[in-house]
Amino acid sequence: MRSDHGALASKSALSAAARGRQLPSWEITWEFVRTLEVGVLGRDIEEARRTWRARWEQARDRLAGFEENAAPVPTPDATPVEPRTRDERPGLVVDAAVLDEPRESRPRGWWLVAAAATVAVLGVTGVLGVHYLRTGASDESQAPAPKPVIEGDGSEFVRDVTIPDGTEIPTGAHFVKTWEIRNSGNVPWIDRYLIREGDFGRPGPCESVDRVRIPDTRPGETVQVSVEVRAPDEPGHCQVYWKMADAHGRLLLPGHRGIFYLVKIVR
């Protein structure tokens, strides 16, 4: 099982990238892409590096052409960042029913942009964003996805049962994330697990066990899988990806998209 963590760019860099004002560096782009392409989708690391380096260079060259013809834009003064202190409150158990209530005043802030900003800027090359993980959108130019270890095996994401993407979680709190997935193949699931397979967060990742057991599931049936998570002690966000494996940690559906949770950490 891999335990590498993709690095996140700074808030200012990703914010500028999302607005199309600044292309993130290749290092920032690669760290984000590596977590998804290699850690979650199981692509070959060197092939992914070559493909995305070419896309990044194409985007860089196009943006350079735009900048040559653009009028100068004044740079706003930087906003000072207030120092943050460690939250010493004991962990809270978050009621998922309360968190699921709609909040009309909740903005779609930078934390969500951070998860998709890098690939969004590369949109001029036809690259898809994070939503690609669940929708199954594809690019005909991509290499075929790896086949399941067991022929006829298949899995399909159904829904987030608890903690929808974007839920606000208090710092240091404990919560339980539950997904519902369907056995979409013709192979029974016996002694299988979801394993933690790639994550990133700012300022740090959420804490949890590395794997959770999937109840035995027959073809066509749906099943719910839960993991208990502890939020970081500082505000920010975290996003963690999970993939199906056997008892030895071998990925059984290497070509399938991982499922994930994405939460905002607040005081």
CA distance 123 to 101: 33
Do 231 and 175 contact (CB within 8 A), yes or no?
Answer: yes
In a domain, 80, yes or no: no
In a domain, 142, yes or no: yes
CA distance 260 to 242: 6
In a domain, 105, yes or no: yes
Residue 135 CB neighbour total at 10 angstroms:
11
In a domain, 232, yes or no: yes
For the chain, how many structural domains are there in total? 1
Tell me which residue range forms the domain holding 114.
Answer: 11-72+92-266
In a domain, 86, yes or no: no
CA distance 109 to 111: 6
The pTM assigned to this predicted structure is 0.54
Per-residue pLDDT of the chain (267 residues; tens, 9 = 90+): 333 333 334 444 544 554 455 677 787 777 677 766 665 556 788 888 888 888 888 888 877 776 566 555 555 454 454 444 434 333 445 444 444 444 444 444 434 334 444 444 444 333 333 333 344 444 444 567 789 999 999 999 999 999 999 999 999 999 999 999 999 999 999 999 999 988 877 788 899 999 999 999 999 999 999 999 999 999 999 999 999 999 999 999 998 888 999 999 999
- 177 three-state secondary structure: strand
Q: What is the CATH number of the domain that holds 157?
A: 2.60.40.10
In a domain, 54, yes or no: yes
Report CA torsion sign: 85, 89, 90, 94: negative
For the beta sheet containing 192-202, the strands, ordered from the edge strand earlier in sequence to the opposite edge, are 167-170, 259-266, 236-245, 192-202, 211-214
In a domain, 78, yes or no: no
Give the tokens for residue 36.
Answer: 């998804």
Give the tokens for residue 74.
Answer: 């004044």
In a domain, 184, yes or no: yes
Residues whose CB is less than 8 angstroms from the CB of residue 127 and which lie 6 or more positions away in sequence, other chains included: 55, 119
CA distance 119 to 48: 14
Please name the residue ranges forming H helices in 70-162: 96-99, 110-121, 132-135
Phi-psi region of 48 (alpha: psi -120 to 50; beta: other; left: phi over 0): alpha
For the beta sheet containing 222-230, the strands, ordered from the edge strand earlier in sequence to the opposite edge, are 155-160, 174-183, 222-230
